[in-house]
Amino acid sequence: MTFSNRTHALSTLNRYWIILLPLFFVLGCTTKTGKGEQALSSKRIQQVDFSQVKITDNFWSPRLKSHVTTTLPVCIDQIEHKTGRIRNFENAANKSGEHSGIFYDDSDVYKALEGMAYSLINYPDPQLEQKCDEWIEKFAAAQEPDGYINTFYSLTDLNKRWDNMDKHEMYCAGHMIEAAVAYYQATGKRTLLDVSIRMVEHMMSLFGPDKRHWVPGHEEIELALVKLYKVTNEEKYLDFAYWLLEERGHGHGSKGSEGTWNPIYYQDEVPVRDLEEITGHAVRAMYLFCGMADVAALKQDEGYMRALDRLWDDVVLRKMYITGGIGSSRHNEGFTEPYDLPNYEAYCETCASVGMVLWNSRMNELTGDAKYVDVLERSLYNGALAGISLRGDLFFYVNPLASHGDHHRRAWYGTACCPSQVSRFLPSIGNYIYGLSEDAVWVNLYVGNNAEIKTGKKGKERFTLQQATDYPWDGNVKLSVKALRKPMEKEIRLRIPDWCENYSIAVNGEAIEGVPVEKGYAVIDRLWNENDEITLTMDMPVKMVQADPRVKENIDKRSVQRGPLVYCMEEVDNPSFDELTLSADTRFNTAFVPSLLNGVTTIEAVTGDQTITFIPYYAWDNREAGQMKVWVDYK
């Protein structure tokens, strides 16, 4: 049976965009997760860690391999040879030499190390592990006797440390903690974990209740402390994260002697539980919201969750691009007024799109609502994936939705947060495919893989899910249950993406009618046996998208989307670039072209004797230079 006109379908998207089929409007309905529906005693869903998921498909698997062969070597070469980032640690250890680069450059080294650690989980490599150990030895040697570690202050003036809240000391420490936890989980080695603990103990000796106030200018430490708490079971680290979040909005923030603290830019205008709208720097906001979500789950703070609900509505319904990118302004690398979404001037930092994935994953785990994975998927396949070239060696910092042909990826940046961010994000993609709760397995993303799911008391029971699909090129998915020792009674919840209006479900070849849908998930509740197979078939038509009329830049324009992918037109395929338009009479043809851009489904939009060729937005700027745009004139 084919289902259509779903309440959940397009509920998020239609409140911001109007989806157009070639010949008619599709009017979506609005659904909202009720406030305070459940106590936040714990996350409703636990993420199935990517270490349990082996990706096998033709879309993501080659990218994971190029991450190992190309992306990581590029980052290592930049850090060791082309910049002074690793030399800063060597100089700090030797108490000699100068600091080169910017005061937050340590963070790039830590993020690259985190990516190396994740790579070791996916693809064990003794040489890469040895490289990690060499770096960690340098970090440990650079640590001050009191536990402090930051090469900028060690090589300039330690007397000035902790004088300026915007000097990223806690930000760098947070990325070190994340790398330490990742490497400990990958190898069991705890040298960097111990270095991190000493740094946290140093910070806690200075800041906290009845001590000094501190508002980190760039959030990150908060979510990192939660990771440290989870791996050490030391509740004081969770408490410190909570204290840092609670410091905001009480007038404690200052930028020291170098300028005036802008509370809006730093998310410091009101206490975090009172936040009504997303403001300021986009990446800082994402890390803040991730920390709030983590603490909300562990501290049972429903005030935080209500704030996150409000903030999510604000960013997704009023300040998010169709690509899932956020942060429209280059002046503050962040937000301005609602619906201010320029195309050529769009900032959409790659790090911010990754942040949308991280935040929306947490929101889904807290609520069990698929709308968060819908946004996660949009940001993943479009905003974040565009941040790296198809070869894996060049990176975007800024991701505009239109270009005059002068915007290109680079091998590195003076501020290199985005290359190092991508290097740690890509190998962890498997984190977002499955979730697990007491009564259900949640299938969030459609990616070919073999996953070992641990269930039962203390994870002693296990079974395997095998997912086969050519997603995102088509909507056919086969999910097989394997390695069951005995029949299993557990729901399998399949996310029905917000772009999908018609789909069918079969179990062992037999169509199932009337499958209930809860918060965007089709719920199949039955006794599962070895080799049971679910088939999900989702129609994937081409759609034209009309922006909210309050987005002035896109009046009388349309964009094109198919499945989770936003498409764009490049001048290299369309020599009459400025003359081409879409209309209500436009017909769409699709074809998979294996030889183009590592294999993509192209879309041809035919209007009379005019044809426009569209490619996925993530793949633009991988050929000869030329113009590009997502939003096309509509006549």
The string over 68-84, giving b where at least 16 C-beta atoms fall within 10 Å of a residue's C-beta and e elsewhere, is bebbbebbbebbbeebb
Active site residue 351: no
Q: How confident is the model at residue 254 (pLDDT cuts 50, 70, 90)?
A: confident
Q: Which sign, positive or negative, has the C-alpha torsion 132, 134, 138, 143?
A: positive
Annotated catalytic residue, options 178, 219, 220, 333: 333
pLDDT, the chain, mean: 92
Q: Report pLDDT for 432.
A: 98
The string over 153-188, giving b where at least 16 C-beta atoms fall within 10 Å of a residue's C-beta and e elsewhere, is bbbeeeeebbebbbbbbbbbbbbbbbbbbbbbbbee
Q: Mean pLDDT, to the nearest integer, of 124-138?
A: 98
| DSSP code for 34 | P
Q: Is the bond leading into 497 cis (omega within 30 degrees of zero)?
A: no
CA-CA distance, 427 to 117, in Å (whole number)?
A: 9
Non-local CB neighbours of 385 within 8 Å, separated by 6+ positions: 618
Q: How confident is the model at residue 595 (pLDDT cuts 50, 70, 90)?
A: very high
Cα 501–Cα 616–Cα 116 angle in degrees, nearest 5: 105
Annotated catalytic residue, options 172, 351, 417, 568: 417
| DSSP code for 78 | I
CA-CA distance, 158 to 483, in Å (whole number)?
A: 57
42 vs 499, more confident: 499
CA-CA distance, 151 to 96, in Å (whole number)?
A: 11
The string over 540-575, giving b where at least 16 C-beta atoms fall within 10 Å of a residue's C-beta and e elsewhere, is bbbbbbbbbeebebbeebbbbbbbbbbbbbbbbbbe
Could you give the 3-state DSSP secondary structure of residue 115? helix
The percentage of residues in the chain with a pLDDT greater than 70, rounded to a whole number, is 92
Q: Mean pLDDT, to the nearest integer, of 80-96?
A: 97
CA-CA distance, 364 to 45, in Å (whole number)?
A: 8
Nearest partner of 605 among 596, 618, 597, 614, judged by Cα? 614
CA-CA distance, 447 to 470, in Å (whole number)?
A: 8
Phi, psi of 366 (to 5 degrees): -75, -30
Q: Which residue ranges form the domains of the chain, and what is each CATH number?
A: 11-31+433-538 (2.60.40), 83-269 (no CATH), 547-633 (no CATH)
In this structure, which long-range contacts are made by residues 515-519, counting pairs with CB atoms below 8 Å and at least 24 apart in sequence? 515/3, 517/3, 517/6, 517/7, 517/8, 518/368, 518/493, 519/8, 519/31, 519/33, 519/367, 519/368, 519/369, 519/370, 519/371
Query: 512: exposed, middle or buried (C-beta count within 10 Å: 0-12, 13-18, 19+)?
Result: middle
CA-CA distance, 320 to 91, in Å (whole number)?
A: 43
Could you give the 3-state DSSP secondary structure of residue 317? helix
- Rounded to the nearest angstrom, the gap between the alpha carbon of residue 325 and the centroid of all alpha carbons in its chain is 10
Q: How confident is the model at residue 243 (pLDDT cuts 50, 70, 90)?
A: very high
Per-residue pLDDT at 614 exceeds 90: yes
Q: Which of 2-6, 412-416, 483-487 has the highest mean pLDDT?
A: 412-416
Strand 434-436 versus strand 565-570 pairing type: unpaired
Active site residue 333: yes
Nearest partner of 42 among 298, 264, 223, 218, judged by Cα? 298
